Amino acid sequence: MKKRELGKSGLFVSPIGLGCMGFSHAYGKPMDRDEAIQMIREAVKIGYTFFDTAEIYGTASNPHENEEIVGEALKPYRDQVVIATKFGISFDTESGKVPSPLIPDAREDVIRKSVEESLARLQVDTIDLYYQHRIDPHVEPEKVAKVMKSLIAEGKIKHWGVSEADEEYIRRAHAVCPITAIQNRYSMMARYHERLFPVLEELGIGFVAFSPIANGFLSGKYGKDSHFDKELDYRSTMPQFTNEAIDENQTLLNLLKEIADKKNATCAQISLAWMLCKKPYLSAIPGTRKLERLKENFAACEIELSEEEIQMIDQQLDQIPMSAVFGGSAIKK
C-alpha cells in the first residue's frame, strides 16, 4: 500500500482510512468498547494508518466516548498513525429530532477548551489533523484560521482542516493558515463537492471523503428487509434506505454489480476505488464494525480503474435515476 499525501501538506495517510464514528455513534447501539478497541488495532495490522474521530461522537451517557476508544486503541501505535479529530459543534439534544440538529460554535475559547479535552481523551501530545467540524456563520474564517495558526505554533496540533467546507471559506481561511485537507461528504450518490477539485488543486489541499459508501447503501447489502433502530441509528431517517429508494436506485446498484463482477471485487470496493482512482490527493474513510469489511474496504486501494472506466461510470451516474441521499444533520439557526 502506497501512502498518499493530502494535498501538498507533507501529511501522508493510507488511501483508505478508518472512520471510527460508527463504533459509538449514529449506527445503532454502540459497539462494546473492548471490541471496538480490538477492531481499531486490527485495522492497524491490516495497514490503515489514518483514523478519524470527533469530540462529539459518543452516546448520551458518554458523549465523547469515541475519542477515548481511538486514543486507547492507538496508544501502542502512536508513531505509526495519523489521528484526526474535530471541534466546533454540539448537538441540540432538546429538539427530540433524530438526528439531533447541530449547533456550530467556533469561538476561540470554545476551541481552546475542545483541543485540551481532545488531547487528553486521545492520550496524545499533539493532534495530527484537527478539523473544524462545521462552519460557524458567526465566526469569520480568518478568525478560526488564526486560532489554528496559534495551536500549530504551540504544538497542540500539526495540521488543520475544515469539514463541509465551501470555496469561499477555504480560500479565506487558507490565506491565513494553510489548510491541509477538507473533509466533505463524497460518494457516487453525492458528487456535488467535485466542483471543489480545481480549488484544492490550485491551493494544494487534500480531500478526505466521508460517508464514501453512502452510509453503506452502495455496498448493495441493504434492502427492503433492513431494519434500523429509530432512535439510535440515523439510517432509519436516511432517504436512500426507504423502500421507494431501494427501487429507484436499482439501476445504480446493477451498474456497481456489473463493474464489481468484471473486476472481481465487491460493490463497496468499486464505490471506493472509483474515488481513489480519480484524485491522488484523496483519501476515503469508510466506517465498519466488521472485520471482514475492514479488510474488504482496505483492499479497494489495490483496484485499478482507468480514466476511461471512470469517465464511463461518471457518464452513467449523470444519467441514471437516483433517490435522494442523506445530506447531513440540520444546522440549528
Ligand X SMILES: NC(=O)c1ccc[n+]([C@@H]2O[C@H](COP(=O)([O-])OP(=O)(O)OC[C@H]3O[C@@H](n4cnc5c(N)ncnc54)[C@H](OP(=O)(O)O)[C@@H]3O)[C@@H](O)[C@H]2O)c1
- Which residues in this chain contact ligand X in the complex, by CB under 6 A? 19-22, 27, 52, 133, 163, 183, 210-216, 219, 221, 268, 285-290, 293, 296-297
Q: Which of 221, 226, 220, 216 is nearest to 187 (CA)?
A: 216
Maximum separation of any 2 CA atoms in the chain, in Å: 54
- C-beta of 219: minimal distance to ligand X in Å? 3
* Closer residue to ligand X (CB): 150 or 263: 263
- C-beta of 179: minimal distance to ligand X in Å? 14
- C-beta of 28: minimal distance to ligand X in Å? 8
210 sits in which H/E element: strand 206-210
* Closer residue to ligand X (CB): 150 or 317: 317
Tell me the C-alpha distance between 127 and 158, whole Å. Answer: 6
Residue whose cell numbers read 478497541: 37
Backbone angles phi, psi at 89, to 5 degrees: -145, 155
* Closer residue to ligand X (CB): 9 or 266: 266
- C-beta of 153: minimal distance to ligand X in Å? 25
Burial of 314 (0-12, 13-18, 19+ CB in 10 A): middle
* Amino acid occupying residue 305: L
Catalytic residue among 27, 48, 57, 130: 57
Residue whose cell numbers read 447541530: 102
* Closer residue to ligand X (CB): 213 or 259: 213
Tell me the C-alpha distance between 242 and 323, whole Å. Answer: 9
Running DSSP on this structure, what letter comes out for residue 116? H
Q: Alpha helices of 264-304 — where are they, by DSSP H? A: 267-278, 291-298
- C-beta of 119: minimal distance to ligand X in Å? 19
- C-beta of 283: minimal distance to ligand X in Å? 11
Residue 131 β-bridge partners: 86, 161
* Closer residue to ligand X (CB): 183 or 308: 183
Burial of 100 (0-12, 13-18, 19+ CB in 10 A): middle
Backbone angles phi, psi at 148, to 5 degrees: -65, -40
Active site residue 281: no
* Closer residue to ligand X (CB): 155 or 276: 276
Give yes or no for a contact between 133 and 87, defined as CB atoms under 8 angstroms apart. yes
The gap from C-alpha 264 to its chain's centroid, in whole angstroms, comes to 26
Residues belonging to the active site: 57
